[in-house]
Amino acid sequence: MKKMLVTGGAGFIGSNFVHYTLKNHPDYQVTVIDKLTYAGNPANLSAVLDKIEFVTGDICDAELIDRLVADTDIVVHFAAESHNDNSLKDPYPFVETNIIGTFRILEAVRNHGKRLHHISTDEVFGDLELDDPNRFKETTPYNPSSPYSATKAGSDHLVRAWIRSFGVQATISNCSNNYGPFQHVEKFIPRQITEILEDRQPKLYGTGENVRDWIHVDDHNSAVHLIIEKGKIGDTYIIGADNDHTNNKMVIEMILELMGKPRDWYEHVNDRPGHDLRYAMDSSKLHSELGWEPQFTDNNGMERGLQETIDWYKANPDWWKPQKAETEAKYKAAGH
């Protein structure tokens, strides 16, 4: 058995990654470290708690991280403060977890000579104009807009510096917007699904012409496993499933239609300051070098995944209801 330490494994993508790993790669013995912030939920892992080791702790805790890393073969680093709107209200936890936390992980893998895969985001590249024919590539210069994306960019730079200066055995992936089960109701898609389930209108920021490139969380995680197994040490891989959609026409209207509501049953709310206009990914390196193929690609790329996600939120009100009122109160205070 190989040992794998998953940071942030009680969050949205990290918990889906743990489930995906146990199902598809049973040769890994998994340990999760998670601080259980507002975004971490042990219920995400309740079905597999007897198959993993779970440590409640902070990635900024150097002694704890050093001890856990010493006892693993590979670290897959998901832990982060992840929500742009929160970073506009209070950037401090973003600087602490995303930068200092990643620094602690890097020092530990350096000390113990362990393999690291660092999970990052397309937001490090900034945004594209609506009519720009380009898509983000591994070589696109960094130009982050928000405190969240700036701290993720900082963490990527640290990883590259530790690879080059200290020979740390690491890879990086930059992925586009994920959707799927266990995603916190603060995020766009679960917020709209649960608003409709509570008989309120979805909330669209600004004009809604913003474009995001959506990927099902299982497709993100299959790519991460390929990079862990076959990726070139020191390299970066873009992960995207070519599902660029405007927030209004495609995503909100698709959700409304799948949930049996009129396509125009949504309201406009205040825009996000500094709101990135468009993300689009070119994942040809992942396809050509590692042979990755996303699975959620039928019916204009999102309908099956979105329907399964809607069904999951319908079937799991006990999971999302406890977070919902507090999240909406925060949004209301910000005019969203």
> Which residues of the shown chain bind ligand DAU in the complex (CB under 6 A)?
82-84, 121-123, 176-177, 187-188, 191, 203-205, 210, 212, 247, 272, 279, 336
Q: Which residues contact 277 (CB under 8 A, 6 or more apart)?
A: 127, 128, 129, 130, 209, 210, 211
Shortest Å distance, C-beta 285 to ligand DAU: 18
Question: Which stretch of DSSP H or E encloses residue 197?
Answer: helix 188-197
- Between residues 68 and 159, which has the closer beta carbon with respect to ligand DAU? 159
Question: Which stretch of DSSP H or E encloses residue 102?
Answer: helix 102-112
Q: Is 237 a catalytic residue?
A: no
Determine the Cα–Cα distance for residues 319 and 15; give it in Å rounded to an integer: 14
What type of residue sits at position 81? E
Strand 170-175 to strand 115-121: parallel, antiparallel, or no bridges (unpaired)?
A: parallel
Stretch that binds ligand NAD, among 9-17, 63-71, 126-134, 285-293 (CB under 6 A): 9-17
231 binds, among ligand NAD, ligand DAU, none (CB under 5 to 8 A by kind): none
Crossing angle for the helix pair 303-315 and 317-333, to the nearest 10 degrees = 100
Whose structure tokens read 């069904």? 311
> Does the protein bind ligand NAD through residue 11 (CB under 6 A)?
yes
Q: Which residues contact 225 (CB under 8 A, 6 or more apart)?
A: 20, 21, 24, 25
- Residues in binding contact with ligand NAD, number by CB under 6 A: 31
Stretch that binds ligand NAD, among 4-12, 162-170, 267-275, 301-309 (CB under 6 A): 4-12
> Does the protein bind ligand NAD through residue 212 (CB under 6 A)?
no
Which pair of structure tokens corresponds to residue 109?
Answer: 């893998």
Which pair of structure tokens corresponds to residue 46?
Answer: 């309740």
Taking alpha carbons only, the member of 104, 70, 86 closest to residue 187 is: 86
Backbone φ and ψ for 57, nearest 5 degrees, come out as -175, 170
8 binds, among ligand DAU, ligand NAD, none (CB under 5 to 8 A by kind): ligand NAD
Q: Is 148 a catalytic residue?
A: yes
List the catalytic residue out of 34, 81, 122, 156. Answer: 122
Shortest Å distance, C-beta 153 to ligand DAU: 11
> Does the protein bind ligand NAD through residue 58 (CB under 6 A)?
yes
210 binds, among ligand NAD, ligand DAU, none (CB under 5 to 8 A by kind): ligand DAU
> Does the protein bind ligand NAD through residue 276 (CB under 6 A)?
no
| Helix and strand element counts for the chain (H, E) | 12, 12
Query: Cβ–Cβ contacts within 10 Å for residue 275, how many?
Result: 15
- Between residues 121 and 309, which has the closer beta carbon with respect to ligand DAU? 121
Q: Which residues contact 84 (CB under 8 A, 6 or more apart)?
A: 123, 146, 148, 149, 272
List the catalytic residue out of 123, 127, 219, 244. Answer: 123
> Does the protein bind ligand NAD through residue 121 (CB under 6 A)?
yes
Question: Which of 4, 5, 60, 256: binder of ligand NAD (CB under 6 A)?
Answer: 60
Is residue 83 within 8 Å of residue 148, measured between CB atoms?
A: yes
- Between residues 58 and 244, which has the closer beta carbon with respect to ligand NAD? 58
Determine the Cα–Cα distance for residues 134 and 196; give it in Å rounded to an integer: 35
Q: Is 219 a catalytic residue?
A: no
> Does the protein bind ligand NAD through residue 82 (CB under 6 A)?
yes
60 binds, among ligand NAD, ligand DAU, none (CB under 5 to 8 A by kind): ligand NAD
Active site (catalytic) residues = 122-123, 148
Give the binding site for ligand NAD (CB under 6 A): 7-8, 10-14, 33-37, 39-40, 58-60, 78-82, 97, 101, 119, 121, 152, 175, 177-178, 184
